[in-house]
Structure formats: structure tokens, C-alpha cells
Amino acid sequence: MVFTLVRALSYATIFVGFLGVFLPARILAWAGFTAPDALKAPQVGGIMLVAAGAAFGLWCILAFVFIGKGTQMPLDPPRHLVIRGPYKFVRNPMYAGAGLALAGAALYFGSLALIIYGAVLGVITHLFVILYEERVLAETFGPEYDAYRRQVRRWLPRV
């Protein structure tokens, strides 16, 4: 279990480090953005969104490790279908958490470039989920995944 947790956190660090920190930092530098001089309402709101997105993502990773007995990486997937924790509310909460954190960064910096990056990343993620992830989950978990898919929405929780 400890080794699985280490692998999951390592994968998350690489993924988040590249797509959530390195590329957005390059985009901000290219667009000429620097850190704001003072913390105002948008910056505080941005920090809160980043923290919420990061906490949500960590909750997802822990659910994969402790419930699914695997990691979030397609090459090292969970052995059991994860339908509890954050996955009880929405089928793709890890991506939602990452989007929330990226939206927070865009708000913090007031960056349209980061909003565009997030939108492009969102479209790519949506296509990945539809064209790869859902097919693999259906093949791997069969009727259990089909029932889960009927009960829990892909991106937005049911009210």
C-alpha cells in the first residue's frame, strides 16, 4: 500500500508539475505577467480555488490508492472500480480539481492566456475521457462500470 501511495504521489507530482505549474508559468511569462504587487479579492479568490482544487485532487489520489488499490496513471490503474469518496459525486473529479486549480491561477493573475490554456486542456481531457478512459473502464469493469455511469454524471454532480 505504501509503495502504491508513493507511485501515485510521484505520478501526480510529474503531471501537476508539468501541466499545472511548468506550462502555465511559461504561458504567463510569454504573456508578460508577473506576480501581483498586493493581495486583493481576485488573488485571495484565486488562492482559495487553487487550494480547493489541490485538496480535491489529493482526495482523488487517496481514493485511487486506498479504495482502488492502484494509481491515477493509465499504465498503473486501480484494480477495483472507485465509486466512493469524490467519485460518488462525479465520474472525473480529479480532472475537475485540476481545472479548478487552473481557474484559480487564472483568477490570481488575471490571465486570459491561462483561461484559454485551461479551455484547450479541458477539451483535450474531455476527448481523452470519451475516446479512451470510458472505453477502457467499460472493458475492465463491465456491468459495474455501466451501472456507475448511469448513476453518476461525467463532469457535473447531480443536484
Q: What is the pLDDT of residues 21-37, one digit of tens each?
A: 788 888 888 888 777 88
Whether the Cβ atoms of residue 61 and residue 12 lie closer than 8 Å to each other:
yes
Distance CA 27, CA 14 (A): 18
Burial of 12 (0-12, 13-18, 19+ CB in 10 A): buried
SS3 8: helix
In one letter, which amino acid is 13?
T
- Cα–Cα nearest to 46, from 115, 92, 94, 124: 115
DSSP 1: -
The tens digit of pLDDT for each residue in 125-153 reads 999 999 999 999 999 999 999 999 999 99
DSSP 85: G
Residue 76: per-residue pLDDT:
83
The tens digit of pLDDT for each residue in 87-139 reads 999 999 999 999 999 999 999 999 999 999 999 999 999 999 999 999 999 99
Whether the Cβ atoms of residue 32 and residue 110 lie closer than 8 Å to each other:
no
Contacts 24+ apart (CB under 8 A), 126-131: 126/155, 129/92, 129/95, 129/154
**Prediction pTM value:** 0.83
**pLDDT score of 14 more than 90:** no
Q: CA angle, 90 as apex, 84 and 94 as ends, to 5°?
A: 85
CATH class of 2-151: mainly alpha
Residue 29: per-residue pLDDT:
85
SS3 140: helix
Distance CA 26, CA 21 (A): 9
